């Protein structure tokens, strides 16, 4: 019986040791994740990204400027079907009226099937940004 519980505990700890945290995404490669290019003024894109992030049911942890790139880190709350997710959004000025938005996210428990995938976060975010920029400029930036 004791051996059984020890094995279960060991398995659970092995699973948990594979957990992603904020450090996992904040130290990832700068171009990690999914991206979309917006042919729009960089300051306008940055404003749209902040507004879009605020409109999602996520917890924006921090926003910083890293060598001219706006970087936002976020978490998604734990729920019965997910241990939550951690993510990062980078807004990079490409010059020539063009900006790239990179979204990178990980599930806290990497072996978990449920929860929000990176593609889902990206689709929601990019669509809201596009809609915001379209509303204000009349351009579609996909």
Partner 1 sequence: MIDLTQVFTKTLWIVIGVVVFVGCSNVDVKQTSTPVLSAMFSGMIEGRSKVILEPNESRANRVAVGFAFVGPVGAVATAVTEDGFSEPGAYRYNIRQGTGEQKAVVSRSVVEIGRCVEVISPDASDLDVLMVIASDRCAQVDTTARALK
Binding interface with partner 1 (CB under 8 A): 9, 12-13, 16, 19, 21-23, 43-44, 46-48, 50-65, 70, 72, 75-84, 108, 114-116, 120-121, 124, 128, 132, 135-136
Name the residue among 22, 129, 20, 128 with its Cα closest to residue 74: 22
In angstroms, give the least distance from the CB of 79 to partner 1. 4
CB of 111 to partner 1, least distance (A): 13
110/80 Cα distance (integer angstroms) = 16
Least Å distance, CB 53 to partner 1, is: 8
92 vs 128, which CB is nearer to partner 1?
128
C-alpha neighbours within 13 Å on the C-beta side of residue 4: 1
What is the sign of the dihedral through the CA atoms of 30, 26, 115 and 75?
Answer: negative
């Amino acid at each position: 019986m004791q051996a059984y519980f020890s094995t279960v505990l060991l398995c659970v700890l092995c699973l948990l040791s594979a957990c992603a945290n904020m450090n996992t995404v904040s130290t990832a490669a700068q171009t990690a994740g999914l991206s979309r290019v917006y042919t729009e003024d960089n300051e306008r894109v940055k404003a749209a990204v902040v507004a879009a992030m605020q409109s999602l049911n996520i917890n924006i942890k921090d926003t910083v400027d890293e060598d001219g790139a706006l970087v936002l880190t976020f978490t998604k709350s734990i729920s019965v079907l997910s241990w939550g997710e951690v993510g990062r959004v980078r807004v990079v000025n490409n010059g020539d009226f063009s900006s790239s938005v990179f979204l990178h996210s990980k599930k806290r428990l990497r072996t978990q099937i449920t929860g929000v995938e990176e593609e889902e976060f990206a689709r929601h975010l990019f669509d809201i940004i596009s809609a915001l920029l379209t509303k204000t400029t009349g351009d579609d930036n996909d």
